[in-house]
Amino acid sequence: MKNSSPHKPLVSICIPTYNGAKYLSEAINSAIAQTYRPIEIVISDDNSTDGTIEIAERLKNESNIPFLIFKHTPEGIGANWNNAIKHSNGEFIKFLFQDDILRSDCIEQMMQLNFKNNNLGFIVCRRELIVESEEINQASYYQPTYTTIQSGKEILGGKNLFNAPRNKIGEPTCVLIPKAVIEDIGYFNTKLSQSLDYEFLYRVCHFYSFGYINKELVKFRLHNNQTTRKNSLQVVPDRYRIPITLLRNHFSLLHFNVKLLLFYKYLSGLTTWAGSKLITKFIQNK
């Protein structure tokens, strides 16, 4: 009798790290505990100095799951994310950030939706927030609700696309991506330091629909030491780069009001960035 069960492709759980010793064991153990098989764990580390690599090596030795650890020369978070992908062997990429947690059936449920629907650009789920600072505004981390199969172009055409919060999809920990899609639309934009996650997902949305699971399958931790949290409190080049990038990549799909807003944000962001650089240079030369 022929086996009618679907082919179960390898899923690479990619964990980019940098000084993540505080939470890393919890993150990796949640990856090891996945009910879905086959999986591999791929760690790309940006020269951590706090014992991150030692923790990863210990858990690797204790596990029978394929476990790859790579040391990476720091070139920004996007470069580290891309490095993890490039070293992966799986047909699917499941990101897990060093301070986040996967529910044990996270990948299982995502892959079940994938088996039922071919050619999805990615699958995203809801997430539970772990808030470790009263200074963080939780309202800026809203959770959108979509249909089980959602048109990506519909998201890009929304009149509120660039209104806060600007990530209308979810953080990378919430997302499962076919590696073939990444090879099709390109890797994370390393010129961006804060907006690279949703810029990447919007590129996918331009060409694909995506799957949505209305369940909290991951836990996303919010604390003051997060790179994105630090960037949000600084003047970064994303302020002018992300508006012009979205205009260039998706102009034909964007709502007219969004086009106007992006053009305004590009000019104001460029002015703010240039002004901050001049002030910094002035202070340094005093």
Q: What CA–CA distances, in Å, run from 275 to 234, 262, 265, 269, 283?
A: 13, 19, 15, 10, 12
Cα–Cα distance for residue pair 12/107, rounded to 1 Å: 10
Cα–Cα distance for residue pair 48/21, rounded to 1 Å: 9
51 CB-near residues (< 8 Å, 6+ apart): 21
> What is residue 202's predicted lDDT score, i.e. its pLDDT?
98
User: What is the average pLDDT score of the chain?
Assistant: 90
Q: Which CATH number applies to 11-232?
A: 3.90.550.10
What pLDDT, in 10s, does the model give residues 182-199? 999 999 999 999 899 999
Share of the chain above pLDDT 70, in %: 86
> What is residue 3's predicted lDDT score, i.e. its pLDDT?
46
Residue 226 has pLDDT above 90, yes or no: no
Range 242-254 average pLDDT: 97
Share of the chain above pLDDT 90, in %: 78
Decide which of 34 and 283 is more confident.
34
Q: What is the pTM for the complete model shown?
A: 0.89
> What is residue 130's predicted lDDT score, i.e. its pLDDT?
87
Domain limits, the chain? 11-232, 239-285
One-letter identity of residue 40 = E
What pLDDT, in 10s, does the model give residues 156-188? 999 999 998 899 999 999 999 999 999 999 999
Instruction: Give the position of tokens 């002004």.
Output: 275
**What pLDDT band is residue 82 in, cutting at 50, 70 and 90?**
very high
Cα–Cα distance for residue pair 130/106, rounded to 1 Å: 17
The sign of the torsion formed by the CA atoms of 188, 190, 192, 194 equals: positive
Residue 135 has pLDDT above 90, yes or no: no
